[in-house]
């Protein structure tokens, strides 16, 4: 199998989408992008789950991708979320992202209509054929109801444009089997912030992180230590911020992280229905964890 190029290694941020009065707040987005780059984030991932991509219009989706590419201006890689449960639409967005200058695309497994493993492989292969851009698969069965099997991963890893996967299944044993079976032909990123060090200790090359929205420097440092083989020090950071990490998922992502970002002054708490703000009791729980981490 081919040895695949790394789109990035380390900690990439699964960026939120700031809203104001029903619209994307591009001024806030610019501030957040600069905060991320200053904080040492290794990649910007736009229009993923944390970005509430499912509620973005097509125009908003495309404009955010273009905006991030333009504002980041090559300082770190920009990866565009272009996955869909409609293969043709995923192809359209992937071609668009390639033309706009994105460094890679993130492709979630089809949701709701799901797919057999055979059709799942065909879905990803068709997208990979549409444009010469690195494809990162995104396996998150808790949201999509669909899991990429080991056999499917092995087939997909043979395609030169399918370079990596974001693994958010939470199944450490299954992910280790993928790492062992696919080797350098498929890079693996942790999709769960509470598993950065465990997965990087067995061969993952980084994380696509929710935590990085509020702690880019610390998440980058955790991943950097892992890449240098200093898992003892990395584990100290993983454990130090574990309660906060868990707090960011006390309700469905991105509700808590957007609440935290608003408290830090980066954006409003505005979300798109069917997501809504937490109640005061959960807010206070989150703020207490943020105070412990010296964020507020």
Report how far apart, in Å, the C-alpha atoms of 121 and of each of 56, 88, 118, 137 are.
26, 15, 5, 11
Taking alpha carbons only, the member of 207, 202, 203 closest to residue 237 is 207
Q: What is the mean pLDDT of residues 170-197?
A: 97
In this predicted model, what pLDDT tens digit does every residue of 132-166 receive, in sequence order?
Answer: 999 999 999 999 999 999 999 999 999 999 999 99
Q: What is the mean pLDDT of residues 194-206?
A: 98
pLDDT at residue 236 greater than cutoff 80:
yes
Q: Which one of 4, 98, 153, 166 is the catalytic residue? A: 166
Taking alpha carbons only, the member of 119, 116, 93 closest to residue 105 is 93
Q: What is the mean pLDDT of residues 26-55?
A: 97
Burial (CB count <10 Å: 0-12, 13-18, 19+), residue 78: buried
pLDDT of residue 142: 93
Q: Is 167 helix (H, G, I), strand (E, B) or coil?
A: strand
Q: What is the mean pLDDT of residues 189-198?
A: 98
- Tell me the C-alpha distance between 129 and 228, whole Å: 35
Cα Rg, the chain, nearest whole Å: 18
Q: Is 42 helix (H, G, I), strand (E, B) or coil?
A: coil
Tell me if residue 112 is catalytic. no
* CATH numbers and ranges of domains, the chain: 10-228 (3.20.20.70)
Tell me if residue 166 is catalytic. yes
Whether residue 81 contacts residue 105, with contact meaning beta carbons closer than 8 Å, is answered with: yes
pLDDT of residue 1: 63
Taking alpha carbons only, the member of 105, 223, 81 closest to residue 164 is 105
Q: Which one of 4, 98, 138, 153 is the catalytic residue? A: 138
Report how far apart, in Å, the C-alpha atoms of 193 and of each of 13, 65, 212 are.
11, 24, 9
Q: What is the mean pLDDT of residues 77-82?
A: 98
pLDDT of residue 119: 97
pLDDT band at 203, cuts 50/70/90?
very high
- Tell me the C-alpha distance between 220 and 109, whole Å: 27
pLDDT of residue 85: 95
- Tell me the C-alpha distance between 158 and 185, whole Å: 7
**Structural tokens at position 39:** 């904080």
Q: What is the mean pLDDT of the chain?
A: 97
Report pTM: 0.96
């Amino acid at each position: 199998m081919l040895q695949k190029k790394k789109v990035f290694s380390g900690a990439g941020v699964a960026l939120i989408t700031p809203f104001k009065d029903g619209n994307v707040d591009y001024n806030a987005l610019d501030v957040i992008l600069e905060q991320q780059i200053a904080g040492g984030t290794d990649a910007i991932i736009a229009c993923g789950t944390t970005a509430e991509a499912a509620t973005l219009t097509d125009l908003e989706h495309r404009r955010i991708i273009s905006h991030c590419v333009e504002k980041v201006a090559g300082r770190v890689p920009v990866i565009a979320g272009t996955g869909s449960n409609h293969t043709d639409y995923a192809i359209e967005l992937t071609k668009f992202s390639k033309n706009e200058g994105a460094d890679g695309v993130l492709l979630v497994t089809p949701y709701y209509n799901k797919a057999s493993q055979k059709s799942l492989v065909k879905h990803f292969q068709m997208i990979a054929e549409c444009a010469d851009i690195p494809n990162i698969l995104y396996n998150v069965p808790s949201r999509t109801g669909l899991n990429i099997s080991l056999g499917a991963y092995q087939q997909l890893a043979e395609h030169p444009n399918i370079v990596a996967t974001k693994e958010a299944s939470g199944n450490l044993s299954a992910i280790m089997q993928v790492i062992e079976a696919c080797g350098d032909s498929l890079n693996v990123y942790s999709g769960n912030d509470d598993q950065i060090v465990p997965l990087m200790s067995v061969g993952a090359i980084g994380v696509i992180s929710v935590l990085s929205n509020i702690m880019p420097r610390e998440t980058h440092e955790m991943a950097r230590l892992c890449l240098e083989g200093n898992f003892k020090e990395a584990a100290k950071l993983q454990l130090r911020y574990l309660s906060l990490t868990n707090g960011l998922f006390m309700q469905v992502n991105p509700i808590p992280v957007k609440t935290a970002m608003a408290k830090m002054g980066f954006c409003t708490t505005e979300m798109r229905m069917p997501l809504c703000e937490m109640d005061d009791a959960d807010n206070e729980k989150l703020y207490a964890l943020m105070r412990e981490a010296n964020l507020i």
